[in-house]
Structure 1
Protein backbone atom coordinates (compact mmCIF):
# COMPACT_ATOMS: atom_id res chain seq x y z
CA UNK A 1 0.00 0.00 0.00
CA UNK A 2 1.19 3.52 -0.74
CA UNK A 3 2.28 5.80 2.09
CA UNK A 4 0.90 9.33 2.37
CA UNK A 5 3.25 11.89 3.89
CA UNK A 6 2.63 15.57 4.54
CA UNK A 7 4.60 18.32 2.80
CA UNK A 8 4.24 21.86 4.12
CA UNK A 9 5.32 25.08 2.40
CA UNK A 10 6.31 28.16 4.40
CA UNK A 11 7.17 31.77 3.59
CA UNK A 12 10.73 31.66 4.91
CA UNK A 13 10.21 30.26 8.41
CA UNK A 14 10.32 26.51 7.75
CA UNK A 15 13.27 25.99 10.09
CA UNK A 16 11.49 27.76 12.96
CA UNK A 17 8.31 25.78 12.32
CA UNK A 18 10.10 22.42 12.17
CA UNK A 19 12.10 23.08 15.33
CA UNK A 20 8.75 23.84 16.99
CA UNK A 21 7.24 20.58 15.68
CA UNK A 22 10.34 18.64 16.75
CA UNK A 23 9.94 20.03 20.30
CA UNK A 24 6.42 18.58 20.40
CA UNK A 25 6.76 15.26 18.53
CA UNK A 26 10.40 14.49 19.33
CA UNK A 27 12.75 12.60 17.08
CA UNK A 28 15.53 13.80 14.82
CA UNK A 29 15.40 15.34 11.39
CA UNK A 30 15.92 12.74 8.69
CA UNK A 31 17.01 15.36 6.16
CA UNK A 32 17.93 19.06 6.26
CA UNK A 33 18.89 20.57 2.90
CA UNK A 34 19.52 24.26 2.22
CA UNK A 35 19.26 25.88 -1.20
CA UNK A 36 22.92 26.96 -1.01
CA UNK A 37 23.98 23.30 -0.90
CA UNK A 38 21.98 22.25 -3.98
CA UNK A 39 23.14 22.32 -7.58
CA UNK A 40 21.45 24.84 -9.85
CA UNK A 41 20.79 27.44 -7.15
CA UNK A 42 23.66 29.75 -8.09
CA UNK A 43 21.38 32.49 -9.44
CA UNK A 44 19.15 32.67 -6.36
CA UNK A 45 18.80 35.79 -4.26
CA UNK A 46 21.43 35.83 -1.50
CA UNK A 47 18.69 36.05 1.16
CA UNK A 48 17.15 32.79 -0.09
CA UNK A 49 20.30 30.64 -0.14
CA UNK A 50 20.20 29.82 3.60
CA UNK A 51 16.52 28.89 3.49
CA UNK A 52 15.43 25.27 3.56
CA UNK A 53 14.91 23.49 0.28
CA UNK A 54 13.81 20.34 2.12
CA UNK A 55 13.43 19.09 5.68
CA UNK A 56 11.92 15.83 6.95
CA UNK A 57 10.84 14.86 10.48
CA UNK A 58 9.68 11.26 11.06
CA UNK A 59 6.49 11.09 13.13
CA UNK A 60 5.17 7.59 13.74
CA UNK A 61 5.41 5.73 10.45
CA UNK A 62 5.12 8.87 8.34
CA UNK A 63 7.17 11.94 7.45
CA UNK A 64 6.34 15.58 8.04
CA UNK A 65 8.27 17.44 5.36
CA UNK A 66 8.61 21.05 4.37
CA UNK A 67 10.26 23.77 2.32
CA UNK A 68 10.67 27.53 2.16
CA UNK A 69 9.07 28.97 -0.94
CA UNK A 70 11.44 31.34 -2.70
CA UNK A 71 11.29 33.73 -5.61
CA UNK A 72 9.76 33.25 -8.19
CA UNK A 73 7.35 30.85 -6.41
CA UNK A 74 4.19 32.55 -5.10
CA UNK A 75 3.87 33.19 -1.35
CA UNK A 76 2.03 30.59 0.65
CA UNK A 77 -1.51 31.42 1.68
CA UNK A 78 -3.24 29.32 4.31
CA UNK A 79 -6.88 28.37 4.25
CA UNK A 80 -9.33 25.95 5.72
CA UNK A 81 -9.00 23.23 3.09
CA UNK A 82 -6.48 21.01 4.88
CA UNK A 83 -5.90 19.87 8.46
CA UNK A 84 -3.24 17.50 9.76
CA UNK A 85 -4.87 14.77 11.83
CA UNK A 86 -2.78 13.07 14.52
CA UNK A 87 -3.89 9.98 16.46
CA UNK A 88 -2.36 9.93 19.93
CA UNK A 89 -1.46 6.72 21.74
CA UNK A 90 -2.75 7.96 25.12
CA UNK A 91 -4.80 10.75 26.71
CA UNK A 92 -1.60 12.24 28.11
CA UNK A 93 0.04 12.29 24.68
CA UNK A 94 -3.07 13.90 23.16
CA UNK A 95 -3.02 16.66 25.79
CA UNK A 96 0.73 17.22 25.38
CA UNK A 97 0.50 17.47 21.59
CA UNK A 98 -2.59 19.70 21.66
CA UNK A 99 -1.18 22.06 24.29
CA UNK A 100 2.21 22.18 22.60
CA UNK A 101 0.82 22.93 19.15
CA UNK A 102 -1.59 25.52 20.59
CA UNK A 103 1.26 27.60 22.11
CA UNK A 104 1.12 30.86 20.21
CA UNK A 105 -1.76 29.56 18.09
CA UNK A 106 -5.49 29.32 18.53
CA UNK A 107 -7.65 26.43 19.68
CA UNK A 108 -10.71 26.28 17.42
CA UNK A 109 -12.25 23.32 19.29
CA UNK A 110 -10.87 22.61 22.77
CA UNK A 111 -9.63 19.09 23.41
CA UNK A 112 -12.58 17.29 24.99
CA UNK A 113 -14.38 13.94 25.16
CA UNK A 114 -16.62 13.46 22.15
CA UNK A 115 -19.77 11.41 21.49
CA UNK A 116 -17.83 8.98 19.28
CA UNK A 117 -15.83 7.85 22.34
CA UNK A 118 -12.70 9.84 21.65
CA UNK A 119 -10.76 12.76 23.03
CA UNK A 120 -10.65 15.27 20.18
CA UNK A 121 -9.68 18.88 19.54
CA UNK A 122 -8.77 21.22 16.69
CA UNK A 123 -6.38 24.16 16.52
CA UNK A 124 -4.42 26.40 14.22
CA UNK A 125 -0.76 26.66 15.23
CA UNK A 126 1.27 29.87 15.25
CA UNK A 127 2.43 29.11 11.69
CA UNK A 128 -1.11 28.91 10.29
CA UNK A 129 -1.23 25.10 10.06
CA UNK A 130 -4.49 23.46 11.13
CA UNK A 131 -4.31 20.35 13.33
CA UNK A 132 -6.80 17.79 14.64
CA UNK A 133 -5.67 15.77 17.67
CA UNK A 134 -7.55 12.56 18.44
CA UNK A 135 -7.28 9.80 21.02
CA UNK A 136 -9.69 6.91 20.46
CA UNK A 137 -10.86 5.29 23.72
CA UNK A 138 -11.82 2.11 21.82
CA UNK A 139 -8.17 1.03 21.35
Structure 2
Protein backbone atom coordinates (compact mmCIF):
# COMPACT_ATOMS: atom_id res chain seq x y z
CA UNK A 1 0.00 0.00 0.00
CA UNK A 2 1.07 3.56 -0.70
CA UNK A 3 -0.18 6.67 1.05
CA UNK A 4 0.39 9.87 -0.93
CA UNK A 5 -0.87 13.42 -0.45
CA UNK A 6 -2.85 14.68 -3.47
CA UNK A 7 -3.09 18.47 -3.39
CA UNK A 8 -5.63 20.67 -5.15
CA UNK A 9 -4.75 24.05 -6.63
CA UNK A 10 -6.77 26.87 -8.13
CA UNK A 11 -4.85 26.99 -11.40
CA UNK A 12 -1.32 27.12 -9.94
CA UNK A 13 -0.32 23.45 -9.71
CA UNK A 14 2.57 23.65 -12.15
CA UNK A 15 3.98 26.74 -10.42
CA UNK A 16 3.54 25.13 -6.99
CA UNK A 17 5.22 21.87 -8.00
CA UNK A 18 8.16 23.70 -9.56
CA UNK A 19 8.51 25.64 -6.29
CA UNK A 20 8.21 22.48 -4.17
CA UNK A 21 10.81 20.70 -6.32
CA UNK A 22 13.31 23.49 -5.61
CA UNK A 23 12.49 23.64 -1.88
CA UNK A 24 12.56 19.87 -1.35
CA UNK A 25 15.31 18.90 -3.80
CA UNK A 26 12.70 16.90 -5.69
CA UNK A 27 11.90 16.26 -9.33
CA UNK A 28 8.67 16.93 -11.19
CA UNK A 29 8.17 13.64 -13.07
CA UNK A 30 4.76 14.30 -14.65
CA UNK A 31 2.62 17.30 -15.61
CA UNK A 32 -0.37 16.26 -17.70
CA UNK A 33 -2.56 19.14 -18.82
CA UNK A 34 -6.32 18.98 -19.30
CA UNK A 35 -5.63 19.60 -23.01
CA UNK A 36 -3.83 16.25 -23.11
CA UNK A 37 -6.83 14.37 -21.74
CA UNK A 38 -10.24 13.31 -23.05
CA UNK A 39 -11.69 16.12 -20.89
CA UNK A 40 -10.08 18.86 -23.01
CA UNK A 41 -13.31 19.94 -24.71
CA UNK A 42 -15.12 20.13 -21.36
CA UNK A 43 -12.77 22.68 -19.82
CA UNK A 44 -13.27 26.45 -19.66
CA UNK A 45 -11.15 28.50 -22.07
CA UNK A 46 -7.54 28.67 -20.84
CA UNK A 47 -7.89 25.56 -18.71
CA UNK A 48 -6.49 23.30 -21.43
CA UNK A 49 -3.07 24.35 -20.09
CA UNK A 50 -3.89 23.71 -16.44
CA UNK A 51 -2.73 20.52 -14.73
CA UNK A 52 -5.00 17.46 -14.68
CA UNK A 53 -2.38 15.38 -12.89
CA UNK A 54 1.05 16.24 -11.51
CA UNK A 55 3.66 14.08 -9.80
CA UNK A 56 6.65 15.22 -7.76
CA UNK A 57 9.24 12.74 -6.49
CA UNK A 58 11.18 13.66 -3.36
CA UNK A 59 13.62 10.84 -2.79
CA UNK A 60 11.36 7.77 -2.84
CA UNK A 61 8.27 9.75 -1.73
CA UNK A 62 5.54 10.96 -4.04
CA UNK A 63 3.46 14.13 -3.90
CA UNK A 64 0.65 14.53 -6.42
CA UNK A 65 -1.55 17.43 -7.40
CA UNK A 66 -4.21 18.85 -9.69
CA UNK A 67 -5.69 22.15 -10.77
CA UNK A 68 -9.28 21.82 -9.64
CA UNK A 69 -11.74 23.69 -11.87
CA UNK A 70 -12.92 26.95 -10.24
CA UNK A 71 -16.50 25.75 -9.77
CA UNK A 72 -15.23 22.82 -7.66
CA UNK A 73 -12.12 24.26 -5.97
CA UNK A 74 -12.01 24.56 -2.17
CA UNK A 75 -9.07 25.93 -0.20
CA UNK A 76 -7.12 23.38 1.85
CA UNK A 77 -8.30 22.98 5.42
CA UNK A 78 -8.30 20.38 8.14
CA UNK A 79 -4.89 18.85 7.35
CA UNK A 80 -1.16 19.57 7.03
CA UNK A 81 1.51 17.92 4.92
CA UNK A 82 4.07 16.81 7.53
CA UNK A 83 7.72 16.64 6.54
CA UNK A 84 9.98 14.78 8.99
CA UNK A 85 13.72 15.38 9.07
CA UNK A 86 16.71 13.87 10.86
CA UNK A 87 18.82 17.02 10.43
CA UNK A 88 17.60 20.18 12.21
CA UNK A 89 19.48 22.44 9.79
CA UNK A 90 17.74 20.83 6.82
CA UNK A 91 14.39 21.18 8.61
CA UNK A 92 15.10 24.90 9.07
CA UNK A 93 16.19 25.33 5.45
CA UNK A 94 13.03 23.70 4.09
CA UNK A 95 10.80 25.62 6.50
CA UNK A 96 12.33 28.94 5.40
CA UNK A 97 12.07 28.01 1.72
CA UNK A 98 8.42 26.90 1.90
CA UNK A 99 7.51 29.98 3.97
CA UNK A 100 8.69 32.37 1.22
CA UNK A 101 5.71 34.64 0.51
CA UNK A 102 3.56 32.39 2.71
CA UNK A 103 2.22 32.67 6.26
CA UNK A 104 4.13 31.33 9.27
CA UNK A 105 1.63 30.03 11.80
CA UNK A 106 4.23 28.76 14.27
CA UNK A 107 7.88 29.77 13.81
CA UNK A 108 10.29 26.88 13.63
CA UNK A 109 11.86 26.29 17.03
CA UNK A 110 12.81 23.63 19.54
CA UNK A 111 9.93 21.98 21.42
CA UNK A 112 9.75 19.34 24.13
CA UNK A 113 9.58 16.60 21.45
CA UNK A 114 11.50 18.15 18.57
CA UNK A 115 14.81 19.77 17.81
CA UNK A 116 12.87 21.85 15.29
CA UNK A 117 9.12 22.16 14.67
CA UNK A 118 7.16 24.77 12.75
CA UNK A 119 3.88 25.28 10.93
CA UNK A 120 3.23 27.38 7.82
CA UNK A 121 0.87 27.88 4.93
CA UNK A 122 2.78 28.39 1.70
CA UNK A 123 1.97 30.96 -0.97
CA UNK A 124 -0.22 28.40 -2.76
CA UNK A 125 -2.38 27.72 0.31
CA UNK A 126 -0.85 24.35 1.24
CA UNK A 127 -0.48 23.86 5.01
CA UNK A 128 2.83 22.30 6.13
CA UNK A 129 4.31 21.05 9.39
CA UNK A 130 8.08 20.67 9.57
CA UNK A 131 9.37 18.33 12.27
CA UNK A 132 12.80 17.14 13.37
CA UNK A 133 12.25 14.93 16.40
CA UNK A 134 14.58 14.42 19.30
CA UNK A 135 15.92 10.92 19.80
CA UNK A 136 14.03 8.65 22.15
CA UNK A 137 16.90 8.98 24.65
CA UNK A 138 16.37 12.75 24.70
CA UNK A 139 19.33 13.59 22.47
CA UNK A 140 19.43 15.06 19.03
CA UNK A 141 18.19 12.86 16.17
CA UNK A 142 21.13 13.72 13.93
TM-score using structure 1 length: 0.89
1:84 correspondence with 2:81:
yes
| Equivalent residues in 2 for 1:1-139, closer than 5 Å | 2-70=1-69, 73-79=71-77, 81-138=78-135, 139=141
Residue correspondences, number: 136
Q: CA deviation at 1:137?
A: 2.8
Q: CA deviation at 1:102?
A: 0.7
Q: Name the SS for the 1:92 alignment partner.
A: helix
Q: CA deviation at 1:117?
A: 4.1
Unaligned residue ranges in structure 2 (runs of 5+): 136-140
Q: Name the SS for the 2:49 alignment partner.
A: coil
TM-score using structure 2 length: 0.88
Unaligned residue ranges in structure 1 (runs of 5+): none
Checking the alignment, whether the CA contact within 8 Å between 1:3 and 1:62 is kept in structure 2 is no
Checking the alignment, whether the CA contact within 8 Å between 1:86 and 1:134 is kept in structure 2 is yes
Q: Name the SS for the 2:41 alignment partner.
A: coil
Q: CA deviation at 1:83?
A: 0.4
